[in-house]
């Protein structure tokens, strides 16, 4: 036992231990791949539902633009689900990347690469006390920045385009606002909510991008933390 502990402290593993770590790495990559596929599923759902809403809205000049507003609720649901899944995905991705950075890379560079000396302890603690590596808001911002910003942009442009051209090209700002009326809700309120809806996504994505860049700069490219 003393010999085994000494080997681990020196990060010099036996052949059996290296084999076990290799299988562990394969398992983490497999789990991250599975959860990455689940992320694509929710994105596809959002794209498909938006496509259906576009088809209904532009089916005829007299068709209502309301489906483009209602689909926003579904997009938010899919975004929430995807952000939750991304937090799981990030756990498996972080672990596999941790092994690549601290175990495989030094092996390939003959130990010349400087790594975290207690990296195996960090990994062990993560297995003993599993937790998310990022917050829900961070996951939300990353998914918006990488996928949903485009979806929200297309939704917004399609809605504005519908109001401008159907049933006839709009000739004034007052007419444009009037077309945005939804039942008892005035057009000003509907348009204001739409601007807030898209702007909040843009702001959150930008804040998370800056936060990620700041964290990367603080780490200085060293493997000192997971996530």
Q: Considering the domain boundaries, does residue 125 fall inside one?
A: yes
Q: Considering the domain boundaries, does residue 201 fall inside one?
A: yes
Q: Considering the domain boundaries, does residue 41 fall inside one?
A: yes
Q: Considering the domain boundaries, does residue 225 fall inside one?
A: no
pLDDT in tens, 50-70: 999 999 999 999 999 999 999
Cβ atoms 145, 86 nearer than 8 A: no
Specify the range with the lowest mean pLDDT, choosing from 64-73, 99-108, 183-192, 200-209. 99-108
Dihedral pair phi/psi, residue 100, rounded to 5°: -65, -45
Q: Considering the domain boundaries, does residue 102 fall inside one?
A: yes
The count of C-alpha atoms lying within 13 angstroms of the C-alpha of 206, restricted to the half-sphere facing its C-beta, is: 6
Distance CA 129, CA 118 (A): 16
Looking at the structure of the chain, the number of domains it has is 1
Closest alpha carbon to 115 in 127, 126, 99, 96: 99
Reply yes or no on whether the pLDDT at 154 is more than 90. Answer: yes
Q: Considering the domain boundaries, does residue 87 fall inside one?
A: yes
Q: Considering the domain boundaries, does residue 88 fall inside one?
A: yes
Reply yes or no on whether the pLDDT at 4 is more than 50. Answer: no
Distance CA 2, CA 191 (A): 70
Which domain, by its residues, includes 161?
2-219
Q: Considering the domain boundaries, does residue 226 fall inside one?
A: no
Reply yes or no on whether the pLDDT at 135 is more than 80. Answer: yes
pLDDT of residue 1: 39
Mark out the alpha helices in the chain (DSSP H runs).
Answer: 2-9, 15-57, 66-99, 105-108, 119-128, 136-143, 149-165, 173-179, 187-219
pLDDT of residue 15: 87
pLDDT of residue 217: 81
Q: What percent of the chain has pLDDT over 70?
A: 88
Q: How would you class 95 by CB atoms within 10 Å of its CB: exposed for 0-12, middle for 13-18, buried for 19 or more?
A: buried
Reply yes or no on whether the pLDDT at 105 is more than 50. Answer: yes
> In terms of pLDDT, which residue wins out, 222 or 145?
145
Rg (CA), the chain: 25
pLDDT of residue 3: 43
pLDDT in tens, 38-50: 999 999 999 999 9
**Which residue is associated with the tokens 């939804």?**
182
DSSP annotation of 129 = S
Reply yes or no on whether the pLDDT at 173 is more than 90. Answer: yes
Closest alpha carbon to 194 in 161, 146, 227, 218: 161
pTM above 0.75, yes or no: yes
Packing angle, helices 66-99 and 136-143, rounded to 10:
110
Going 126 to 130 to 135 to 139, the CA torsion angle's sign is: positive
pLDDT confidence band for 8 (50 / 70 / 90): very low
Reply yes or no on whether the pLDDT at 2 is more than 50. Answer: no
Quickly count: other Cβ atoms within 10 Å of residue 98's Cβ. Answer: 23
Q: How large is the average pLDDT for residues 72-91?
A: 95
Give me the DSSP letters along 72-89. HHHHHHHHHHHHHHHHHH
């Amino acid at each position: 036992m003393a010999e085994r502990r000494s080997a681990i402290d020196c990060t010099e593993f036996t052949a059996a231990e290296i084999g076990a770590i290799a299988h562990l790495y394969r398992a983490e990559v497999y789990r991250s791949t599975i959860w990455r596929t689940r992320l694509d599923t929710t994105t596809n759902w959002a794209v498909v539902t938006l496509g259906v809403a576009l088809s209904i809205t532009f089916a005829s000049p007299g068709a209502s633009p309301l489906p483009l507003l209602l689909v926003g609720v579904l997009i938010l649901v899919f975004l929430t689900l995807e952000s939750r899944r991304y937090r799981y995905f990030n756990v498996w991705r972080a672990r596999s990347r941790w092994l690549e950075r601290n175990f495989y890379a030094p092996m390939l560079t003959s130990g010349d690469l400087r790594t975290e000396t207690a990296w195996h302890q960090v990994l062990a603690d993560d297995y003993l006390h599993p937790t998310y590596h990022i917050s829900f808001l961070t996951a939300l911002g990353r998914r918006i920045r990488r996928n949903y910003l485009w979806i929200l942009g297309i939704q917004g442009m399609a809605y504005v385009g519908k109001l401008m051209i159907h049933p006839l090209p709009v000739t004034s700002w007052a007419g444009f606002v009037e077309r945005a009326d939804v039942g008892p809700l005035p057009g000003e309120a509907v348009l204001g909510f739409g601007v807030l809806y898209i702007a909040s996504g843009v702001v959150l994505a930008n804040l998370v991008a800056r936060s990620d860049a700041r964290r990367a700069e603080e780490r200085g490219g060293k493997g000192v933390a997971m996530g």
